């Protein structure tokens, strides 16, 4: 089983100024997959296998701006994946094991910007069941 890293990059100041987090979220993951047009957008379609672990990390693209992940909701939560906060990272890193397969299952990430503004956006997960090599 693999660990998939999802980086959530946010222009915190612009998101707050325009009250529009999705417009200022840029997501990439470590799968190396490209081609569906979701890379670099707020609707990243992370591809993985049932049993993989996904680790999300949130970063402000502007130094000194506070950001944290508050939690996850949506169709993929908690049955497909149930992310938990990694306490040593002050809310900026969460992770969870993928527990079932699904195609383009949407979930929401709730974020805390500058320690007092709550906003959300909605990316996707596609998880396939691993194939067994039979000899």
Question: pLDDT band at 131, cuts 50/70/90?
Answer: confident
Q: What are phi and psi of 23, to 5 degrees?
A: -65, -25
Mean pLDDT of 73-80: 96
Work out the average pLDDT over 67-75. 97
Domain of 122, in residue numbers: 3-128
Average confidence (pLDDT) over 101-122: 97
> How many domains does the structure of the chain reveal?
1
pLDDT of residue 135: 57
Query: Is there a domain that residue 133 lies in?
Result: no
Output the CA angle 76-77-80, nearest 5 degrees: 55
- Structural domain contains residue 66: yes
Q: Which two tokens stand for residue 3?
A: 């660990």
Express as a percent the part of the chain with pLDDT over 70: 96
Does a cis peptide bond (omega within 30 degrees of 0) precede residue 78? yes
CATH of the domain at 86: 2.60.40.420
Residue 35 confidence (pLDDT): 65
Under a CB-based contact definition with an 8 Å cutoff, are residues 125 and 48 in contact?
Answer: yes
- What is the DSSP-derived secondary structure letter of residue 23? G
Distance CA 4, CA 6 (A): 7
Q: Is residue 135 part of a domain?
A: no
């Amino acid at each position: 089983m693999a660990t998939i890293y999802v980086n959530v990059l946010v222009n915190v100041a612009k998101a707050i100024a325009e009250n529009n987090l999705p417009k200022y979220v840029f997501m990439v993951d470590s799968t190396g997959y490209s081609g569906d047009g979701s890379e670099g957008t707020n609707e990243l379609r992370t591809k993985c296998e049932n049993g993989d672990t996904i680790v999300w990390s949130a970063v402000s693209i502007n130094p000194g701006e506070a950001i944290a992940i508050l939690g996850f909701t949506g169709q993929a939560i908690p049955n497909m994946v149930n992310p938990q906060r990694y306490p040593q990272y002050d809310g900026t890193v969460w992770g969870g094991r993928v527990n079932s397969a699904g195609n383009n299952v949407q979930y929401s990430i709730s974020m805390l910007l500058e320690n007092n503004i709550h906003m959300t956006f909605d990316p996707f997960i596609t998880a396939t069941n691993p194939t067994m090599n039979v000899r």
